[in-house]
Amino acid sequence: MRPQTYFYLFAVIFPKSITAYEISLFPSLQFRSQRLASLVVRPGDGCKTDHTGVASSAMLKSEDTSAGVFYVVFFEGNDCNPDKIIARGNDGCVKALYGSFEVWNVCEGDKTDCLN
């Protein structure tokens, strides 16, 4: 295999658009109480239900500031149902009494102008 082929294989297996979010969960809407937990979530991790019924807010910090197409999406139920989105964010504070959350690429598919 030539070096150029290795590069293409690497680019397919590890696409540049992968990002991770550090999420700090809090029991109050004011972020003044002690943090319940911190976790790292990535696209492809699936639907999460960490601290549902206890956490009321989340502080989001992206590990890749250029990854503006990814959002942490919060849902009313515990199944990440797209019809029950209650909040989303990719940096900063999100206040939501959520049932589940997941990292989504909001520009998946052929939506070339999805953020406009």
pLDDT tens digits along 31-90: 777 889 999 999 999 999 999 888 999 999 987 755 567 899 999 999 999 999 999 998
CA angle 57, 62, 65 (to 5 degrees): 140
Helical H segments across the chain, by residue range: 3-13
Q: Which domain holds residue 93?
A: 17-105
Question: 77-93: per-residue pLDDT in tens?
Answer: 999 999 999 999 988 99
Lowest mean pLDDT among 4-8, 28-32, 62-66: 4-8
pLDDT of residue 8: 33
Q: How many domains does the chain have?
A: 1
Residue 57 domain flag: yes
| Rg of the chain over all Cα atoms, to the nearest angstrom | 16
- Domain with 98 in it: what CATH number? 2.60.20
- The number of C-alpha atoms within 13 Å of 45 and in the hemisphere containing its C-beta is 19
Structure tokens at 30: 């004011």
Residue 81 domain flag: yes
Lowest mean pLDDT among 13-17, 18-22, 34-38, 77-81: 13-17
Residue 115 domain flag: no
The three-state secondary structure class of 57 is: strand
Residue 5 domain flag: no
Residue 110 domain flag: no
Residue 101 domain flag: yes
The three-state secondary structure class of 73 is: strand
The three-state secondary structure class of 87 is: strand
Residue 98 domain flag: yes
Residue 1 domain flag: no
- Sheet with 57-62: list strands edge to edge: 37-41, 21-26, 57-62, 92-95
